[in-house]
Amino acid sequence: MTSLVNAQFSPITQDIVESLMSIEVACHPHPWTEKTFRSCIDGRYFGNYLTVDNNTVGFYVAEHVAGESTLMDICVAPEQQGKGYGKILLLQFFEHCKQQATKTIFLEVRAKNISAQMLYINQGFTEISRRTGYYPSNTGFGYEDAIVMSKKL
């Protein structure tokens, strides 16, 4: 169980995006560009990053529209994975959603991304549909399905 004694959540602002890009790039074979990341701040978007002992370990970005929230991205720095931080970020995301009167949360995950799927399934998400060949494959050849998941709050 991860200790939260020195853990802190902070809202993602434009000022912090550049420093989060190293985690984004390290976590995804097809990461967001900094421009895309910056376009997902403010307005209908929201996000928080998690620091532990003043070290940024991960973040999430989401969108809220009319009672529905979509998790756009969640990342834990590779060297910090498997310590419970992904779960802590997801639980904080749920709290934020509740404050915004979210009724349903949606997300998409690569069919081969088992660690993310386990995180989501363990927190009550269920598969509602698949988008065939939605993502370019991590190998650089072909495509990979997207699994669409949802959870009622």
Ligand X SMILES: CC(C)(COP(=O)(O)OP(=O)(O)OC[C@H]1O[C@@H](n2cnc3c(N)ncnc32)[C@H](O)[C@@H]1OP(=O)(O)O)[C@@H](O)C(=O)NCCC(=O)NCCS
Active site residues: 108, 120
Q: Which of 51, 56, 104, 113 binds ligand X (CB under 6 A)?
A: 113
Which of 75, 97, 105, 149 contacts ligand X by CB under 6 A?
Answer: 75
Residue type, 104: T
The two three-digit tokens of residue 59, written as one number: 């973040």
Q: Does 118 bind ligand X (CB under 6 A)?
A: yes
Choices 6-14, 32-40, 113-121, 128-136; region in contact with ligand X by CB under 6 A: 113-121
Give the C-alpha separation, 56 to 63, whole Å: 22
Is residue 96 left, alpha or beta, with left meaning phi > 0 and alpha meaning psi from -120 to 50?
A: alpha
Residue 50 vs residues 90, 129, 131, 136: alpha-carbon distances, Å: 11, 30, 31, 29
Query: Where does this chain touch ligand X (CB under 6 A) — which range of 8-16, 34-42, 84-92, 134-142?
Result: 84-92
Site string for ligand X, 19-48 (x = CB under 6 A): --------xx--------------------
Identity of the residue, 3 or 101, whose beta carbon is nearer to ligand X in the bound complex: 3
The residue among 65, 69, 63 whose CA lies nearest residue 42 is 63
- Contact (Cβ atoms closer than 8 angstroms) between residue 19 and residue 56: yes
Q: Which of 7, 116, 148, 153 binds ligand X (CB under 6 A)?
A: 116
Residue ranges binding ligand X (CB under 6 A):
27-28, 74-76, 81-87, 109, 113-116, 118-119, 122
